Amino acid sequence: MADVYKLREVFSRGMPTVTYVRREHLGLERDLRRAVEQGHAIIAITGPSNCGKTVLRRTVIPDNVVVHVEGGQISDESDFRDTIRDHLRAPTGTTEGASKQAGGTSEVSGSVGPRFAKFGAKHSEQSNVSHAETRNFTGPQKSNLLKRIQDDHDVLVVDDFHYITRDVRATIVRSLKSAGFDGITVVMLSVPYRAFDVLSAEAEMEGRFTHLPIPAWNVDDLCKIARQGFPAMGLHVSDDIQERLATESLGSPLLMQSLCSQLCAEIDVFTTQQPPRSVQPDEVDLEHLFRIVARNFGLPAFKKLAA
């Protein structure tokens, strides 16, 4: 019996599975895997928005081994450190408190976070004086956090690196220099014109920097999304319609996913059809479909599709 899918499982605007296209002629998965395994480098994955940078990263480097930093949420170096610490669930600090009372007992207790054992003690003293004392300790430094990522064989991923301001980008790259030398793997995702910000921020990273550009999608590669997806939905869609969808996708796999999904929705197909059915040319008004997707997709795509 053939697999039965829901529409959102096939044409996904998130992480595609059924319609993931490897583009074997480019070898992107192979190149990223090799760069990660070689280590001792910052890997810059660059490409325009919605070109598949995150999908490629998640295919090769699964989320369960990733410490993820969202560039759009980083306004200074402390944000960068705090985001890593929150992901690692490292303690923000430690506190030791003590209270002593005469003629009774003295209790000492404290906790230094979830990765450490709690401790406590109690003893008796004879006196009529009482006092309390508290001492605060600083939380883990950034170097310690990076060392933990390295020791756990995880990968530090900075998404939308280009959203971080220039001065902060430079500070972050400099702070990663020694960690990279020691073996931590760092992946930065950004737009093409920010590809070499790492080297601009720290010239000594030369030789420990790998650039992996994501080329534009051509019509043939975009058609593979349709060729893998429509049969999974139990639909026979003509090559002419598939190529028209790919042509109007403006080189964006995300837009192609949206157009294919909308075509299914237009004919009320939301699960795999059994038995399979053919989509006739007069069943779908492609111009209407394009207008709907353009309206929902975003202003730049809307303008291009409208043109």
66-95 pLDDT tens trace: 999 999 999 998 999 899 999 888 776 544
- Count Cβ atoms below 10 Å from residue 166 Cβ, excluding itself: 11
Q: What was the pLDDT predicted at 201? A: 59
Domain boundary among the residues 75, 106, 138 is at 138
Share of the chain above pLDDT 70, in %: 75
Number of domains observed in the structure of the chain: 3
Q: What is the widest separation between alpha-carbon atoms in the chain?
A: 96
In a domain, 23, yes or no: no
Are 147 and 287 found together in one domain?
Answer: no
Give yes or no: residues 41 and 152 share one domain. yes
Please indicate, yes or no, whether residues 240 and 179 belong to a single structural domain of this protein.
no
Residue 1 in any domain: the answer is: no
What distance, in Å, lies between the first and last C-alpha atoms of the chain?
A: 44
Q: What is the pLDDT of residues 97-115, one digit of tens each?
A: 444 444 444 343 343 333 2
Residue 23, pLDDT above cutoff 80: yes
CB neighbours of residue 74 within 10 Å: 23
Highest mean pLDDT among 59-68, 106-115, 119-128: 59-68
DSSP labels, 168-187: HHHHHHHHHHHHHHHT-EEE
| Domain shared by 113 and 261, yes or no | no
Q: Are residues 224 and 254 in the same domain?
A: yes
For position 167, what pLDDT does the model report? 86
Distance of CA 126 to the CA centre of its chain: 60
Of the candidates 94, 123, 96, which has an alpha carbon nearest to the alpha carbon of residue 110?
A: 96
What is the pTM assigned to this prediction? 0.75
Residue 199 three-state SS = helix
Residue 164 belongs to what domain range? 28-88+142-213
Residues 288 and 233 in one domain: yes
2-16, 145-159, 289-303: least confidently modelled range? 289-303
Cβ atoms of residues 199 and 205 within 8 Å: yes
Which residue carries 């600083």 as its tokens?
Answer: 138
Residue 2 lies in a domain: no
Question: And the tokens for 282?
Answer: 């007069």
Spatial contact of 263 and 225, defined as CB atoms under 8 Å apart: no
